[in-house]
Structure 1
């Protein structure tokens, strides 16, 4: 069993994102025999993750802040309690539109680059 505070993990730049976006791998390959990687991602006010796609799914839960995700050209609003599933190869783009960090928990399959 692993029990931590997510803030105990040092934030690192998220490779697919621009400035102001960090991620923390809170459960991943460093943990024994897990099937998913759990990341906590923070977008600072005005920050965004530009449009991209890849061959794996995402499962996301938005904890705090406000913003949007682009799905098929439409901006879908996000806020605390929003849940998003991004299918493999589906283009997606997330932006923070609020005055506080947009914080989300993101699950990806084991074996994918964690950040």
Structure 2
């Protein structure tokens, strides 16, 4: 069994192409013995994003606090999500997240551990960006 306070789990910068002001905390991971699902806590601070991408597995999202915009490029629409919202992303569905100048969003992501050969398809060629800001680490 693992029991830990989320505040005690270190954050890592999201280093995917085009990501801005985004961090991840791997709350439950394969290194903990998880063999079916992993649980991660993402934080996207003001003017941040995880640009549109897709992958060969589904995942489930729960918005813990704050708000952001879910981008759905195939549907050519954006959806505003906020604390308490639940989102299901099917496999191979392009999606991304973006926060405005006054928005920060923290959200949980559940994803399978046994994924098809790891293939993320990032629809950005920009490098990731992250700058420390007061109160966010």
Report the RMSD for the aligned CA atoms in angstroms: 1.6
Residue 22 (str. 1) matches residue 23 (str. 2) = yes
Residue 7 (structure 2) aligns with: 7
Residue 103 (str. 1) matches residue 106 (str. 2) = yes
TM-score, length of structure 2 as denominator length: 0.76
Q: Please, which moves more after superposition, 43-52 or 28-37?
A: 28-37
1:88–1:60 Cα change, 3 Å: same
When Rg is computed on C-alpha atoms for both structures, the one with the higher figure is 2
Alignment of 1:4-83 (within 5 A): 4-16=4-16, 18-71=19-72, 72-83=75-86
Alpha-carbon contact 1:66-1:98 (below 8 Å) kept = no
Unaligned 5+ residue runs, structure 1?
none
1:11-68 deviation per Cα after TM superposition (whole angstroms, max 9, x unaligned): 1112335231000100011112431010000000110110111101110000111111
> 1:51, 1:32 → 2: CA distance?
30
Q: Which runs of 4+ in 1 moved over 6 A?
A: none
